[in-house]
Amino acid sequence: MIQESGRSMIEMLGVLAIMGVITVGAVAMISTAMRTQKRSTVTDDVLSIVTGVRSLLGEYDDFSNINNDTIFGAIGQSNANPYGGKYEVTVDPMNSRQFIVSINGLTKADCEALTTKAWSDSIGYINSNGKQSGATGKCKEDVKNVVSITYGE
């Protein structure tokens, strides 16, 4: 008798099935890592914007002179965010001693994550003794959402 060596079709299908499961797991992990990285980048960017605004306008009594182009040019940061939207800095219409950092272009999941995140130096967080996140936003499906965080006094 001649003994043949090689792999059967069933063995090959088994290997392909295992590789498919591993690939699906890897894609899910990469997707989660990318989502986490975007959120981390937004957090870092917002903190950098807040620090820049405070250092530029800290000598004034209010933030009524805020201008997006001037602010982003002065702090040397782009106003583009990782979600394809933009950061905006505006004076709070109710209180010129406060300014609002807005993050535009968010998906519903990212909007929800950023509105529940504790923005520890924000007005809302401080005034609620840490019980509220400090961010506001209406998070809806199939809409580019906006999250706003108020800073100042």
Give the pLDDT means over successive 10-residue stretches in the chain (153 positions).
72 90 89 90 93 81 80 88 93 89 94 93 91 92 91 85
- Cα-Cα-Cα-Cα dihedral sign, residues 123, 153, 95, 39: negative
**pLDDT the model gives residue 79:** 92
The predicted pLDDT at position 1 comes to: 65
Per-residue model confidence (pLDDT) at position 10: 86
What is residue 18's predicted lDDT score, i.e. its pLDDT? 92
pTM above 0.75, yes or no: yes
Write the DSSP string, the chain. -PPP-S--HHHHHHHHHHHHHHHHHHHHHHHHHHHHHHHHHHHHHHHHHHHHHHHHHTTSS--TT--HHHHHHHHT--SB-TTS-BEEEEEETTEEEEEEEEEEEE-HHHHHHHHHS--TTSHHHHHTTTSS-SEE----TTS-EEEEEEEE-
Residues in the chain: 153
Handedness of CA 128, 132, 138, 143 (dihedral sign): positive
